Amino acid sequence: MKKLKLENASYSVLLSNYKEWLDILGYAETTVYNLPNHLREFFYWLECQKRTDINHITAQDVTNYYKVLKERSNQRIDGALSKSYLNKHQQALKKFREYLIQHNAKTPLRVHLKSETQPTEERINILTQSEIKELFAACNYSNKRQCIRIRDKALLTIFYSCGLRRNEAVHLDIKDVLFDKQRIYVRKGKNYKERFVPINKYNLSILEEYIYDGRPDFNIKNNTEALLLNQHGTRLQGMSFANRLQAIVAATENKIIIEKYITPHTLRHSIATHLLQKEVPLESIKHFLGHSSLESTQIYTHLLKTITNENR
| Active-site annotation, residues | 165, 190, 265, 268, 291, 300
Find all residues with CB under 8 Å of 144, minimum gap 6, and list them: none
Bridge partners, 226 (sequence order): 173
Find all residues with CB under 8 Å of 197, minimum gap 6, and list them: 162, 163, 164, 183, 184, 186, 288
Distance (Å, whole) CA 49 – CA 56? 12
Distance (Å, whole) CA 219 – CA 215? 8
Contact, 166 vs 241, CB < 8 A?
A: yes
